[in-house]
Structure 1
Amino acid sequence: MAERKVRMFVYISCFVFLSTVTSSPIPSVNVKPVSPVVVEEQLIWLSGGSEGEVDIYRTPLLVATPRGSLLVLCGARKYSSGDAGPKFLAIRRSTDKGQTWSPTAFVTDDRSPDGFNPGSIFVDETTSTIFVMYVHCAHHYKCNVSTLYLINSTDDGLTWSHPRNISEQVGTATFDPGPGYGVQKKLDPYKGRLIVCGHGDQQHSGVFCLLSDDHGNTWRYGGTRKSIPYNQSKKAGDFDPDENQPLELPDGSILLNARNEHTYHCHCRVIMRSFDGAESFPLENLYFDEKLIEPRAMASQWYSNGVLFFSNPAHQTKRINLTLRWSYDNGTTWASSLTVWPEASGYSGMTMLGEDSEHLYIFYEKGVKSSIESMSLAKVALYGGL
């Protein structure tokens, strides 16, 4: 059965999906218009017990390292597809722009009945350190206290440190990073700051950001946007921004794109913006992007050369139709879109290699009947062509 799935995915991935053009604003004269097309795709992990104790691979993390490698990570769920339960943190590494990959390695093993949730990956460019922040006991099914951990690699992802408990600095209230990536500010204010944003639990939910101004040694809480109501369970229609992804725009502001967990106002994304380095997310800078429809899932955003990219399963209720959109005005309007995979698809992450401004990588959950059947990496040529 697993072999048939592999053959099916390889066959389907040979197709190149062209963009669906919509009415769009004309890009700035200083911005080169993009015409994305998927030119390569590789199956990274196949669920179903094909590797050791792992039942399901979920929650994609993707990063380009300072040395030009690509790292893919995910939560390798040992016994079931549910969020709770023990997991490995699985990793593979490519040093040739995604052409070949190292064998799967397991960086952490939580050995716990109520396991960890990955998490956010981010890079301190100053120290060339790669970090992964993750939470243990996020769901409180078989444990009571959440603990936030940080691991790091200083050798391009080859080896990783022992987990460091940073709940000693920020407390034990549930903080579930990302999932996705954190950012290091390249511009003022607070140039060099590390920012990791995430969400809380069912009662104490909303968007929360952790900040470090000393290269990840110490952390504190920054901007928040709490759910309404707070400190009580939620129901359909409540305001509850959840899984989220920050990025830095060219003016130094932080743009945060969040899951709308209980579909307040719409089946669409919640957008926030901070002009003080994620110290705050004022209410006047919050809006709902009704163009970015969603079925309540993780999404990703990326910025390069005047273009903002966004990926998610573009459907109001089903995790299908993984779509890449792009904007020339920081998301005020969306110029056009590309269907990356029309069938079952879920969480996604994006990155670009530092020396290659013409290709975007999308790592996402992919399937035919279910999005948790596999995890795949698509390479997108931003200016067309094979």
Structure 2
Amino acid sequence: MAQAYFGGGTRILLKETAGLLMVFVCFLSLTEAAMFPDVKVEPVIMDEQVLWLREAVGEVNTYRIPIITYTPKGNLIALAEARKCTEDDGGAKFIALRRSLDKGATWKPTEFIVDDGDVPDGLNLGAVVVDEEKDIIFIVYSLCAHYYMCNVSSTMLIASLDDGITWTRPRNLSKEIGTKMFCAGPGYGIQKKYEPHKGRLIVCGHGTIEGDGIFCLLSDNHGNNWTNGGNLKSIPYNQPKQNKDFNPDECQPYELPDGSVVINARNQNFYHCNCRIVVHSTDGCDTLPVENVKFEKDLIDPAVAAGALLKNNIVFFTNPANEHKRLNLTLRWSYSGSSWGDNSIQIWSGPSGYSCITTLDGSVEESKYIYVIYEKGHFHTDDTISVAKVHLYGGI
């Protein structure tokens, strides 16, 4: 398995320059940090484009579950579920992909990189995670997540070694992690930049409605092997739920400079409030202690998958900012990571659903931008999937 996703010797020529590159990266990071320590965030939407439309075209009925990520070479990849016959969560699907090689200015045509055939309970798009140390992009997704005309769920993995141009055949992780239903994300996984467990890949997600909660998958050898990490189970666990039960669901992790991981989660049954559940892990998601759970009352939420990202030591968050309806896609930010105040800008006032955030690093100019992909509609939340390029500092 050592060569499962990357060929030995292909990067030998880079070793001689690794030291110089590390010096440059460290210098660049310090430069960017020095430029933005006290700069006030004043977001401006510089550009927005529709990537996918709801209308049935060819074999696709509806596009849902938008995800966006950077790539090792500094490009952008957008992903979505291309639902073949219905707008419902079940049914057969493709994983749809579009690439941008010019920082979101233009996007290449849609490609279908996974096809589950005509199964009655098809794939659920989960999370993308970039291994920056090995220049690999992984996508984690699930099969038979709803147990509709099937009874064994599988967690699947594909990988790209060439910046998202080609992808490996799907690999079933069931022998490593079991067959408990696990839906990653939806969003992105992380590679830890700091100790503890520097370099670890972390993908978090949720389980079935009865056996729900936050569950994390971990890899300490660049995706060659995966293990089950920490979890935060619903209460009552593996039992039917009622309104106001504790039931964390779809989630997005990000890492803080102190090495801790924050997981921002959907509060499925509105336990304690119509707001987000947040849990901190200080051991690289080996555990998700219940004593580290808090409720972000400022982040009102109608129970939906949301975007979260740490950039320039500021936490950014996107969701439909409404307690009951999927309306009003809003970008919020926190300088402390725990206090949000009135720091917000509306991205879209109408129907809006799932969202995801990414950023490109590597230059001072790119430190000014984030990219928000989200479900945007005039009549339904899934009329389109759109991506907005947001300048964080007033367009300057």
Normalising by structure 1, we get a TM-score of 0.91
Query: What are the equivalent positions in structure 2 for 1:275-314 lying under 5 Å apart?
Result: 275-314=282-321
- Match for residue 106 of structure 1 among 104, 108, 112: 112
* Aligned positions of 1:1-386 closer than 5 A: 30-50=37-57, 52-111=58-117, 112-334=119-341, 336-355=343-362, 356-385=366-395
Please state whether the residue corresponding to 1:229 is helix, strand or coil: coil
CA distance in 1, matches of 2:375, 2:220: 33
Q: Which range moves more in the overlay, 232-241 or 128-137?
A: 232-241
The amino acid that maps onto 2:371 is Y
Size of the alignment, in residue pairs?
358
Structure 1 counterpart of 2:26: none
How has the CA–CA distance of structure 1 residues 292 and 286 changed in structure 2, closer, same or farther, with 3 Å as cutoff? same
Deviating beyond 6 angstroms after TM superposition, the runs of 4 or more aligned structure 1 residues are none
Deviation at 1:233, TM superposition (A): 1.4
Deviation (angstroms), 1:33: 1.7
Q: Following the alignment from structure 1 to structure 2, what is the Cα–Cα distance between the partners of residues 334 and 278?
A: 28
Q: Deviations over 1:264-302 (max 9, x none)?
A: 111100010001111111122101111101111000100
Q: Give the C-alpha shift of residue 335 in structure 1.
A: 5.1
Deviation at 1:332, TM superposition (A): 3.1
Aligned partner of 1:13 in structure 2 is none
Preserved CA contact (<8 Å) 2:332 2:340: no
Query: Are the aligned partners of 2:67 and 2:373 in contact in 1 as well (CA < 8 Å)?
Result: yes
Contact 1:31 1:307 in 2 (8 A): no
Q: The residue matched to 1:284 in structure 2 has which SS?
A: helix
Q: Which letter maps to 1:37? A: V
Distance 2:38 2:144 in 1: 45
CA distance in 2, matches of 1:335, 1:194: 34
Give the residue type in structure 2 aligned to 1:383.
Y
Deviations 1:232-287 (A, max 9, x none): 11121110000000000011000000000011111100010001111111122101
Aligned to 1:8: none
TM-align CA RMSD: 1.2
Tell me how far apart the structure 1 counterparts of residues 341 and 376 of structure 2 sit (CA, whole Å): 24
- Corresponding residue SS for 1:44: strand
TM superposition shift of 1:30: 3.0
How far the C-alpha of 1:60 sits from its partner, in A, is 0.7
TM-score, normalised on structure 2?
0.89
CA distance in 2, matches of 1:237, 1:306: 33
The separation in 1 between residues aligned to 2:106 and 2:395, in whole angstroms, is 22
Distance (whole Å) between structure 2 residues aligned to residue 69 and residue 39 of structure 1: 18
Identity level (%)? 52
Code of the aligned partner of 1:59: I
In the alignment, is the contact (CA less than 8 A) between 1:241 and 1:261 conserved in 2?
A: yes
The letter for the 2-side match of 1:60 is: P
Shift of the 68–350 alpha-carbon distance from structure 1 to 2, 3 Å rule, reads same
For residues 17-58 of structure 1, the C-alpha deviation after alignment (integer angstroms, 9 at most, x for no partner) is xxxxxxxxxxxx9332210011100010001113x1111000
Partners of 2:251 and 2:82 in 1: CA distance: 21
Do 2:85 and 2:91's aligned partners in 1 also have CA atoms closer than 8 Å? yes
